[in-house]
Chains A and B, each alone.
Chain A
Amino acid sequence: MSKGSNNNPSRRQFLSGAAVAGAGIAVAGAARAGDPLITEVQQWARGLGEGVDATPYGLPIRFETDVVRRNVPWLTADPISSINFTPIHALDGTITPQGCAFERHHSGAIELSKDDYRLMINGLVDTPLVFTYADLERFPRQTHVYFCECAANTGMEWAGAQLNGAQFTHGMIHNMEYTGIPLRTLLEEAGFDTSAKWVYVEGADASSNGRSIPMEKALDDVLVAFKANGEALRKEHGYPVRLVVPGWEGNMWVKWLRRIEVADAPVESREETSKYTDTLANGVSRKWTWVMDAKSIITSPSPQAPIRHGHGPLVITGLAWSGRGAISRVDISKDGGKTWETARLAKPGEKMALTRFYLDTTWNGEEMLLQARAMDETGYVQPTKAQLREVRGENSIYHNNCIQTWWVQSNGEAENVEVS
């Protein structure tokens, strides 16, 4: 992937020579002149690098410019109420770098300073309260890792194979370590009515993105977060404060959180009636489909991450997650689901967080129909698209957690396909 040496003629010559020779193992075994990257003293081994004062806050090295968010202009009417995609094809591990973690706004990424920030709790409470940002930092904190997956992730794929790349088919997701206050703590501070069934949460932006959340979830694990991956939230992710709703659809992770209302009934706002409702084949629609079910995706090889290294050892890797608990197992098929082998989890699955899997295998140029199938601790097995369609039809838009197939061809290129 690295284009680091593209402007170095000797390096390019070396690479093209290897390509002509074909299999890497054969080249390694052949007697030939030493690699000039080793036999010649390189500039970086002789001269000096940058000083520590060059970059107070760094960006990735220029050779990694492929690892960026991308959008698909035709998906939405304009780029303000729109979506972009995390480059999951190029990442590893589980933590998403904030700078390339996907965005979804309904009226743009607003700029709201800590000084201007206010959070209100009102409705069925003893004392409606207003907090400043500084107030929030004085409550006891918790830190947890969770995935945030847009309800529409993979939504363009309901009717068929459309977009060619894991970034586009599965990149409406990020996974961060959040620090914040349990929502429960703030509700208790205001003295919420324990008979109240709902909270309504909304953002400070023009869209407001208001959503109703049942009190049971609000009191369980919802966080009012102000740090992600160790630092303040990025502007586009809700700076300075957002809601974190573990396992539940990303729309409910209200950014720039400004108000929490305790209520005895749901608001049935636009974002839980017109949007984020899932239409079944008979025209009836599910509402309040909050949980994101178990899902997985092979991130490499994939259409944006083809096999370029020739035959021999191959690492098949990807991500699995479930909104209903921890991932317990991921199976991989190379033949479109005829046979499966169990992958290795980088570490045991964590509840409502991304889990990295690997299958260390050998590839000798055979075509593969690669699939991953996640299982979570409830025993749920990620379904095929055919299974999902059988229950739901093709018009659900949201909650497409189907098994994805990549067709890896003998030249190592991969394509998004559907199989029988």
Chain B
Amino acid sequence: GPASAEKFGLGRPAAPDEIAAWDHDVNPEGVGLPVGSGSVEDGEALFGDYCAICHGDFAEGVDNWPKLAGGQGTLDHKDPLKTVGSYWPHVTTTWDYVNRSMPFGNAQTLTVDEVYAVVAYILYSNDLVEDDFVLSNENLLDIELPNKDGFIIDDRAESEYSKWSGEPCMTDCKDKVEITMRAMVLDVTPEETKARKVQEL
């Protein structure tokens, strides 16, 4: 039931069209997913127009911009490639994020059907659907992303906290200490700071 606490009578009721304008989130059960559809084919054209300049024609990423496709099977590698196909657990998140926050710099400009189409193309780029696929609110939840079971809830309380608690060593904690890595060897700290240092020395 509702909380019964002292109320201050501040604020005013939100109008239905106001809630509709701002409440766009979609959860993994599909709650919030609007009616609509879009094809891989339409998505490819839209992606070319609005997304490829940063994310590449095949969602493979340009320069340092995020890669949206590829990397499956790399999560236990030294440098895992985390994409919608290799890492994301839910298609709903892709829909939700593209809808609300993409394209970067011109967010909230795609129509509902366009978002379905762009997401369909991202799925296609990850080899998860065929090129004639049409994504809709009816079938979106049927698509399982490869890493849907790849997440566990924070387990630090069990796996770490007891291990790293209690009175720590204060003396004779190790026999020897050697330097194993140096930041100066890598030399990637911004120049401005180095310039300042030289100037002051």
Contact = CB atoms under 8 A, between A and B. Distances in A.
Contact of B14 (A128, A277, A303, A391): A128
Contact of A273 (B10, B64, B93, B181): B93
Interface in A78-119: 80-81, 106-107
Contact of B190 (A70, A331, A375, A417): A70
Q: Which of A72, A273, A289, A338 has the most CB of B within 10 A?
A: A273
A282 B76 contact: yes
Nearest to A304: B193
Interface in A128-182: 128-131, 135, 138-139, 160-165, 168
B177 A130 contact: no
Contact of A380 (B89, B164, B181, B182): B164
A162 B22 CA distance: 42
A194 interface: yes
A338 B177 contact: yes
A391 B169 contact: no
Contacts of A341: 170
B23 A130 contact: no
B31 interface: yes
Contact of B183 (A123, A131, A161, A391): A161
Contact of A279 (B3, B80, B163): B80
B153 A339 contact: no
A193 B87 contact: no
Contacts of B1: 193-195
A76 interface: yes
Given A120-B14, A128-B19, A340 B173 contact: yes
A162 B153 CA distance: 30
B181 A161 contact: yes
A382 B166 CA distance: 11
Contacts of A259: 22-23
A108 to B, nearest CB: 9
Contacts of B155: 286
Contact of A160 (B7, B19, B23, B186): B186
Contact of A420 (B89, B93, B177): B177
A356 interface: no
B179 interface: yes
Given A265-B29, A265-B31, A383-B164, A81 B104 contact: yes
A10 interface: no
A287 interface: yes
A355 interface: no
Interface string B176-196: 111111111010111011001
Contact of B27 (A80, A163, A265, A378): A265
A306 B155 CA distance: 39
B111 interface: no
Interface in B1-20: 1-8, 10-14, 18-19
A285 B150 contact: yes
A411 B126 CA distance: 55
Contacts of B193: 70, 164-165, 304
Given A268-B28, A287-B154, A391-B160, A129 B179 contact: no
Interface stretch (B33-41, B43-51, B94-102, B133-141): B94-102
A270 B173 contact: no
A340 B19 CA distance: 57
A72 B183 contact: no
Contacts of B161: 378, 380
A164 B154 contact: no
A122 B25 contact: no
Contact of B168 (A126, A168, A303, A381): A381
Given A120-B22, A192-B3, A268-B93, A131 B154 contact: no
A380 B90 CA distance: 35
A195 B165 CA distance: 35
A208 B12 CA distance: 23
A379 B166 contact: yes
Interface of A: 66, 70-74, 76-77, 80-81, 106-107, 120-123, 125-131, 135, 138-139, 160-165, 168, 187-195, 200, 202, 206-208, 210, 258-259, 261, 263, 265-270, 273-274, 277, 279, 281-291, 293, 303-304, 331, 335-341, 369, 373, 375, 378-383, 387, 391, 394-395, 407, 415-420
- The 10 closest A-B CB pairs, nearest first, are A336-B177, A283-B76, A283-B75, A416-B183, A206-B107, A188-B5, A77-B64, A191-B2, A128-B14, A129-B11
10 contacts: A122-B14, A162-B186, A191-B2, A259-B23, A289-B154, A340-B169, A391-B160, A395-B78, A419-B177, A420-B178
Interface of B: 1-8, 10-14, 18-19, 22-23, 25-29, 31, 54, 63-66, 75-76, 78-80, 82, 84, 87-90, 92-93, 96-97, 100-101, 104-105, 107-108, 150-156, 159-161, 163-166, 168-174, 176-184, 186, 188-190, 192-193, 196-197
